């Protein structure tokens, strides 16, 4: 497996993990559910690790795509810049998660729930940035689909 294949395999993980984390954390806060909160904390940490893998494999994949026909290098640069913001916000959210795990041991349950509100805001922001980076990444090879420029079929198959 080369870097491009690895990047394609892991690049969706941070986005989907953070979307699920936002939903779980919202439910945890509404229900004051410790189990959901703990699951979310670890999910955000895993999303942070996945974002690091996606960024590192993306850097290596960029070098593999140099000079390949049909690749928009401008789209790669825009995706890379957007991915930096996505990585930073995801790492911040993962850091807050680690802070909740360690801080709640010293400061207790009240700290845990107050910090969870901050974590919710961080996961929402990270999800937005990851989504923007993912969208820009799609333009590297899928601009026609994303901009609705697909050719109209010349004939429609007969339905029987």
The tens digit of pLDDT for each residue in 16-41 reads 999 999 999 999 999 999 999 999 99
The tens digit of pLDDT for each residue in 47-100 reads 999 999 999 999 888 888 777 777 778 888 999 999 999 999 999 999 999 999
R_g (Cα) of the chain, nearest Å: 19
Binned at pLDDT 50, 70 and 90, residue 157 comes out as low
Count how many residues are written for the chain: 160
What local confidence, expressed as pLDDT, does residue 80 receive?
93
* Residues 122-149, mean pLDDT to the nearest whole number: 83
Q: What pTM does this model have? A: 0.83
Q: Give the Cα separation of 142 and 140 in Å (integer).
A: 6
Quote the tokens at residue 35. 């189990």
Which residues, other chains included, contact 17 with Cβ-Cβ below 8 Å and sequence gap of 6+? 43, 44, 46, 47, 50
Q: Give the Cα separation of 64 and 3 in Å (integer).
A: 8
Q: Give the Cα separation of 3 and 123 in Å (integer).
A: 27
């Amino acid at each position: 497996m080369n870097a491009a294949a690895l990047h394609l395999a892991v690049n969706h993980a941070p986005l989907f993990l953070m979307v699920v984390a936002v939903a779980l954390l919202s439910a945890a806060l509404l229900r004051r559910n410790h189990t959901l909160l703990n699951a979310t904390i670890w999910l955000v940490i895993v999303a942070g690790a996945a974002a690091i893998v996606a960024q590192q494999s993306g850097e290596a994949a960029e070098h593999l795509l140099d000079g390949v026909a049909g690749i928009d290098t401008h789209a790669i640069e825009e995706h890379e810049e957007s991915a930096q913001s996505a990585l930073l916000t995801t790492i911040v959210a993962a850091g807050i998660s680690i802070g909740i795990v360690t801080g709640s041991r010293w400061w207790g349950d009240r700290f845990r729930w107050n910090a969870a509100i901050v974590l919710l805001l961080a996961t929402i922001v990270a999800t937005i940035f990851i989504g923007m980076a993912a969208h820009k990444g799609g333009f590297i090879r899928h601009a026609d689909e994303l901009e609705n420029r697909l050719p109209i079929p010349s004939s429609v198959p007969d339905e029987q």
